[in-house]
Amino acid sequence: MDLLEGLRKSVKENQAAELAKGWQRYQEILRRLVDEKKVDPAEVATVLDAIGKSVDDIPADVDHVKRRDAIRKRAADAEAAKPQLLEAQAHLDRLKAEKQAFLDQVIPRIEDAVAERDRLVSVVNGGSGSDAELLASCRDPGLRAQLGTIDDEARTITAREGELRFREDRDRHGMHVDALAELERTKSDLHRRRAEITSAMIAQ
């Protein structure tokens, strides 16, 4: 390496070192501006000259520093959140395990309860028509004859009542009111007697 080449290399190295120092001082100035601290205008001018920037570059460079600060903050927040995330996931896993254990315990009980409910529904439904079956299967000729007589009387009374109501609605003079009231009393008595007979037929 000749003398001129060595000189050129040394000059470049010195320029690079000075530029690095100037850039570092510029970053310190930007940091103070970001932190809203005062700066020495003379120092700022010297530094700008050293790194080849102008005062017009400062606003954009301040915003650049702020963006990099925001990036670092996101990275720091993410790193700090990692242990919390692991803890939250572990907590969620524990809750899921507790839920599954509860389901494993309660589901068979629910199934048993449903089966018991269905069994009782079947029992209740099976007995819902038992009175009608017992009544129809009663072979006591006396009770069946009495029931037939009462039913015949009820049909006769119903027909008579229909006839009287027709006349009363047509004539509207109240002549049949007493007769209709008497038929109502007779019907009530027939209902009572019929209930007694059917109860006896079911009980046999």
Q: How far apart are CA 140 and CA 176, in angstroms?
A: 39
Tens-place pLDDT, residues 35-93: 999 999 999 999 999 899 999 999 999 999 999 999 999 999 999 999 999 999 999 99
- Among 87, 119, 151, the domain boundary falls at 87
Q: Kindly state whether residue 175 falls inside one of the protein's structural domains.
A: yes
Q: Kindly state whether residue 143 falls inside one of the protein's structural domains.
A: yes
Mark whether 83 and 155 lie in a shared domain.
no
- Among 87, 115, 143, the domain boundary falls at 87
Question: 134 is in which domain, residue-wise?
Answer: 130-203
Mark whether 75 and 144 lie in a shared domain.
no
Mark whether 76 and 141 lie in a shared domain.
no
Least reliable range by pLDDT among 127-131, 141-145, 196-200: 127-131
- CB neighbours of residue 146 within 10 Å: 17
* Dihedral, 31, 32, 36, 37 alpha carbons, nearest 10: 170
Q: How far apart are CA 22 and CA 125, in angstroms?
A: 97
Q: Which amino acid is at 192?
A: R
